[in-house]
Amino acid sequence: MAMKVLSLAPLPAELVKAFILQTADVPDFDVMYGHEMSDDEMKIAMSKADVVFGDYTFKKWITEDIVSAALKVKLIQQPSAGYTHIDVDACTRKGIKVANTAGANTVSVAEHTIACALCLIRNMFYANSSTKMGRWEQMQVKPMELKGKVWGLVGFGRIGQAVSKRIKAFELDSILYYDIFRQDPSVEQELQAQYCELHELLGRSDIISIHTPLNDNTRNMIDEGAVQAIKKGAYLINVARAEVVDEKALASAVSMGRLNGAGIDVFSEEPITPQNPLLAVQSDKLILTPHVAGVSNEAAAAIMNMAAANVARVLKGEEPESVVNNL
């Protein structure tokens, strides 16, 4: 009997199967399209599935109740770095491995971070809107240079290090980083990054970019008190998770001019809702993007290929890679 893959992504079942079949010698399998299933329908499908291909739009939650219906699922493969919509503890208790695609979008997120910083510090959006209105405000734009500034990285994993590697060329005064795990001195030297505590980083940095995962240690890490501790006139960029930063406090700081601007790619509710306080901020120095930092064409292809290859490994009886729970 053919094995079964339950796909919760908004992709045709035939396309998901084609991605998996790029790996040689995959045994016979069928793909069940589950993106539009109700929870009850998902539970029935889970009872039949050998592997689950997750939803990169984060709309199809894999709750403890859904997991309880699994009878033979060996792997839940999430086609993204984030997996907060999956009850990993429930999967672990059930003996189901959960894997993500960490690293597949590292370059994309790093480049997006730097693009935001350049647009903000060069005041590009004000310059663009002013010129399009027929004004010539050459002396009012007042762009600044990255050279000589201090850049603080909150989170120094793959993406934080990728940003550090790329910004060395801008001749910054210094690159600071804070992380729960301090890197080896050889890594710090190679990336020209200095470790410091979070409060010091916030107070010294001209540009702060967030690259932490979301967990109990990082949730609301940049709360109202932390926002107030940020150096006056600095810029904040969040390409990690919305729940790391207090949106209301950030919106207020930008509106009041305490922060010079911000670049935000992640939101507490997605798609963004009209009630989000950031939408009320009237500023050319607030860049809002719809969670696209990690979805360049190249990254999207890499994510799908990495996820599909992992599904193929399990279908062939091999061990998956990038497993996030201890199984």
pLDDT 10s digits, 267-297: 999 999 999 999 999 999 999 999 999 999 9
Note the pLDDT of residue 326. 85
Question: What contacts 194, CB < 8 A, 6 or more positions away?
Answer: 174, 175, 176, 177, 188
Taking the C-alpha atoms of residue 57 and residue 283, their distance in angstroms, rounded to an integer, is 29
**Strand-pair partners of 162:** none
Active site residues: 241, 270, 291
For residue 1, what pLDDT is reported?
83
Residue 31 to residue 113: CA distance in whole angstroms: 36
User: What gap in Å lies between CA 12 and CA 147, rounded to an integer?
Assistant: 48
Kindly give the confidence (pLDDT) of every residue in the chain, 327 residues in length, as a single tens digit, with 9 standing for 90 and above: 899 999 999 999 999 999 999 999 999 999 999 999 999 999 999 999 999 999 999 999 999 999 999 999 999 999 999 898 999 999 999 999 999 999 999 999 999 999 999 999 999 999 999 999 999 999 999 999 999 999 999 999 999 999 999 999 999 999 999 999 999 999 999 999 999 999 999 999 999 999 999 999 999 999 999 999 999 999 999 999 999 999 999 999 999 999 999 999 999 999 999 999 999 999 999 999 999 999 999 999 999 999 999 999 999 999 999 999 988
Q: How many CA atoms lie within 13 A of 281 on its CB side?
A: 26
| pLDDT (tens digit per residue) in 180-215 | 999 999 999 999 999 999 999 999 999 999 999 999
Taking every pair of Cα atoms in the chain, the longest distance, rounded to a whole number of angstroms, is 72
- Which pair of tokens denotes residue 267? 């939101």
- Per 3-state DSSP, the chain is made up of helix, strand and coil in percentages (nearest 5) of 40, 15, 45
- What does the pLDDT read at residue 48? 98
